[in-house]
Amino acid sequence: MRVLVVNPNSSLEVTEGIASALRPLGNIFDVVRQERGPATIRTDEDVATAAEAFASCIASENADGYITACFSDPGLDLARARVDKPVVGAQEAAILAACATAERFGIISLSERAIPRHLTRIEALGCLDKLVAELPLRDVSAADSGRDPNVYRHVLALGEELRDRGAGGIVLGCAGMAQLAARLEGDIGVPVIDPVAAAGRLMLSKLDVSS
């Protein structure tokens, strides 16, 4: 069994982080990156370009399932219209996991300009009333979001603010933050949802595979 996991950006660091986050769930996840993609998915144009790239990529790959490993879920709906295998998005999986974990949740996003498109997806999932807030970092790169100590201090402050505002769970709004989940959960004392691991678990459930 094989699940193709596509990082729509070109960052090696983010791709390695995605693979590391999925490793505890089993060896069926094959993680690749879009080598011609931007280093960080920032704009709506980036998302649109990544969407077509993802859908085209999986059309030529024989796998049992597919994951778009970006919090904007580029290509999720398009891919579902093109293949008859399970397709999972990191944001969708994380939001569903958050709703199952806590009455209300918050999101730490990569940048302010990503929030409107995230909210559109959350509303479509019927979960907008459970969102306390989505608070942004200062437009950092996807790679730095999970590696830079200065960025982590900002992540921690945002996590504490969301917790204090009533969030019983915190969603990390970028695949690049995957490695921060356990540390942040220990520091703020509420569950933290890594979107990459959430996508992996949702895929396992769709394929009826035990991790």
Q: Where do runs of H (alpha helix) occur along the chain? A: 12-22, 44-59, 76-82, 90-101, 115-124, 142-145, 149-164, 181-188, 195-206
| % the chain with pLDDT above 70 | 99
Report pLDDT for 209. 81
| % the chain with pLDDT above 90 | 76
- The reply to whether 3-89+197-206 and 91-195 are identical in fold is yes
Q: How far apart are CA 73 and CA 51, in angstroms?
A: 8
The ranges assigned to domains in the chain are 3-89+197-206, 91-195
Report pLDDT for 142. 87
Report pLDDT for 159. 98
- CATH class of domain segment(s) 3-89+197-206: alpha beta
| Contact predicate 33/176, CB 8 Å | no
**Mean pLDDT calculated for residue range 77-97:** 95
- Quick one: angle between helices 149-164 and 181-188, nearest 10? 50
CATH code given to domain 91-195:
3.40.50.1860
Supply the mean pLDDT for the chain: 93
Whether pLDDT at 163 is above 70: yes
